[in-house]
A and B are shown apart, each in its own frame.
Chain A
Amino acid sequence: MNHPRPIPCAEWEEKLAATYPGDLLPTEREELNAHIASCPACEAVLAEYYEMDTLIRDALIAKRSLQLWEIFLSPPPEQQSPDIL
């Protein structure tokens, strides 16, 4: 992510933010892709959003197991930690 930041087209901003695969209708996705193909600024912003998604996941999601699952193997949780329930 280098400076200066590209400025996306205002009318495409909300659709650019919809990085979840199913959040746009197929026709909307096609229109967005067609726009991106001719607009370097929106293309760059979309790339930034995907990079940010990766960074967010790397920043928050634990990389190793927290081993919480082991608690449920034995003995039953009711017996192990009644105060939490």
Chain B
Amino acid sequence: MSSSWDDPINTSHVRLVRLAQAGNNEAFASLVQNYEREIYGYLLSQVGNSEDAYDYAQQTFFKAWRKLSTLDNPFCFKPWLYTIARNLAYDHWRSRRTCLQSWENLEVDDAIESLPGPEEHAEKAELIKMALTELPPKLRDCLLLQVVGGFSRHEVAKLVGISEASVGTYVSSARKQLRTAYQHLENERGGQADESSKAHTLC
């Protein structure tokens, strides 16, 4: 099966990795520019607040820059980067002895706030973010590595350290649970809107 990173279209990234490994910081800056938004998004999904996600994204790239010479296969740069980000997120939760429960305290983030398209789409994106918090961490991790990271089932299996079959099962369960959670939230929001409308009519 083909993988996103093995695709010939990414050979330019491999060239950048090799240049960066030789000490070319401009090449590394190009790699950061390419991956910073998705690494931030993945970390946001793991730690739940924009400030920590930004800090960990920064740390991810600093660590990657410092350890780049230890990366044997330049084709593995992206999964390697995600491994660093995942480890930082795990350290975050280990130090707090908890896991993501809610994005309620998520501060407004300019980079995220400006969602394109109609207001309805932005509301749906907000609902999906809330629905994601209701997924068990393992399921959410596998789903987001595929959807945000763009990794194949095979790559997720290697990153998470489980079988490909388990990734398939987890992603399927994640989608099913996410769909249900989203529906509940959508119904709740619809109910609240109805109540508000009734109250307005009564006034």
Say yes or no for A85: interface residue by CB 8 A criterion.
yes
Report which of B117, B146, B148, B174 forms a contact with A60, defined as CB distance below 8 A: B148
- Is the Cβ of A22 less than 8 Å from the Cβ of B132? no
- Is the Cβ of A84 less than 8 Å from the Cβ of B37? no
Say yes or no for A37: interface residue by CB 8 A criterion.
no
Report which of A1, A20, A73 forms a contact with B182, defined as CB distance below 8 A: A1
Q: Quick one: CB contact mask for B152-167 with A, threshold 8 Å, 1 for yes?
A: 1100000000000000
Q: Quick one: CB contact mask for A1-15 with B, threshold 8 Å, 1 for yes?
A: 101010000000110
Give B173's nearest chain A residue, CB to CB: A17
Given the contacts A69-B33, A72-B61, A64 and B168 also touching, CB distance less than 8 Å: no
Give the A-B pair count, Cβ closer than 8 A: 154
- Is the Cβ of B114 less than 8 Å from the Cβ of A63? yes
- Is the Cβ of B168 less than 8 Å from the Cβ of A72? no
- Is the Cβ of B178 less than 8 Å from the Cβ of A61? no
- Is the Cβ of A71 less than 8 Å from the Cβ of B58? yes
Give A58's nearest chain B residue, CB to CB: B125
Say yes or no for B2: interface residue by CB 8 A criterion.
yes
- Is the Cβ of B111 less than 8 Å from the Cβ of A66? yes
Q: Quick one: CB contact mask for A37-51 with B, threshold 8 Å, 1 for yes?
A: 000000001001100
Q: Which residues of A contact B114 (CB under 8 A)?
A: 63-64
Q: Which of B1-43 contact A (CB under 8 A)?
A: 1-3, 25-26, 28-30, 32-33, 36-38, 40-42
Chain B positions within 8 Å of A, measured between CB atoms, are: 1-3, 25-26, 28-30, 32-33, 36-38, 40-42, 44-45, 54, 57-59, 61-63, 65-66, 109-112, 114-117, 121-122, 124-129, 132, 143-144, 146-148, 150-153, 168-169, 171-172, 174-176, 178-179, 182-183, 186-187
